[in-house]
Amino acid sequence: MKKLRIGILGPSDIAFRRFLPALKNSEHFECAGVAIAKPHERNQSYNDHELKAMLKKSMQKAEDFLKNYQGAIFNGYEELLSSSIEAIYIPLPPALHYVWAKKALDYGKHVLLEKPFTTNLADTKKLLKIAERQGLAVHENYAFCYHAQINKIRQLIEDSEIGEIRQIRAAFGFPYRGAADFRYDRELGGGALLDSGGYPIKLSTLFLGKTAQIMTAALQSAKKHNVDVFGSATLENADGITAQVSFGMDNSYKCELEIWGSEGSIYAPRIFTAPANLTATVLVKKQEVRVYEIAGNDQFLGSINHFYHCMADNTLRLESYAEIEAQSRQIDDILNLTKKAGGNYESEINTGC
């Protein structure tokens, strides 16, 4: 079977560390190459010295890509989008997602976007409408959803190993990464909610189901940044089951899920970021603790495979649209709740369009 060609907008770290190693093992795609942004495509202002340094750094990273993986270096995002590729992977900062995903869709390309899909619900809806009109797949890369430990947890719940679900608790956070990181820049779509917050919200929705709604939320800033750096929220479904989520990017590291049941609990200590070679563990705590080991599997490859199936299957593609919109709505609801409560984080973020 001939593989489809997928290109990468920008030589990002996540593309090099996780996406390309997974893509190398894909049965469906091959890497067409990586694009280096031209100055006017960067949506940021630089003086001549800064621009030269940025271009040099980007080129060095792109060359490192090609030492390990196939493909070419494209001189500009538009050059890659206008080429004969079938699909594009966009690992850019969130504020650039809308403008470049829209351009990609306008060029007739299927789009795999890093999370969050966009920085607001309105932009998400616009992209989904364009994709549906043109029959194109779009996919939001919450890769943890495609790790085998998720299926194991679902099986344990279906088998009533912990009785009836009483509550879900999920947390994801990491230490401060430094002011230069895009996550701490509002103009680039930074903020804990759009970054680490999306993970436990997405996970909670997986288990609560389509009726899950945001009930309470709080966002807090620190270290004089103009973005939220930690927060929390409560979701509830039609059955009255709640999920408590917490997140942050000025926290000690946490990456865990606990599902509390009437007869026991399920605990997964590495639920979001398991490397491909990690043997993940899922614990069932009752009178005694049972440990289930999940052999290493590549959740990024699982996400890439799902993207391909969305391209090939119209029903799955429509389901993907609905899931993306639901996730964007949850985040939008949190922003609106915290804004009404007098929070200091505004929901409007410059998307560069």
- The residues annotated as belonging to the active site are 115
Q: In the sheet that 265-268 helps form, which strands lie side by side, from edge to edge? A: 213-220, 230-236, 242-248, 165-173, 254-261, 265-268, 280-285, 289-294
How far apart are alpha carbons 178 and 78 in whole angstroms?
31
Residue found by looking up tokens 């479904």 in the block: 237
Residue 238 tokens read as 């039609």
Closest CA to 207 of 174, 246, 166: 166
Return the bridge partners of 258, or none.
169, 267
Q: Of the candidates 57, 52, 50, 104, which has an alpha carbon nearest to the alpha carbon of residue 78?
A: 104
Strands 265-268 and 29-36 come out as: unpaired
Encoded amino acid at 3, one letter? K
Neighbours of 160 (CB within 10 A): 12
CA distance linking residue 291 with residue 182, whole number of Å: 38
Whole-angstrom distance, CA of residue 308 vs CA of residue 310:
5
Return the structure tokens found at 207: 């288990």
Contact (CB, 8 A) for 82 and 107? yes
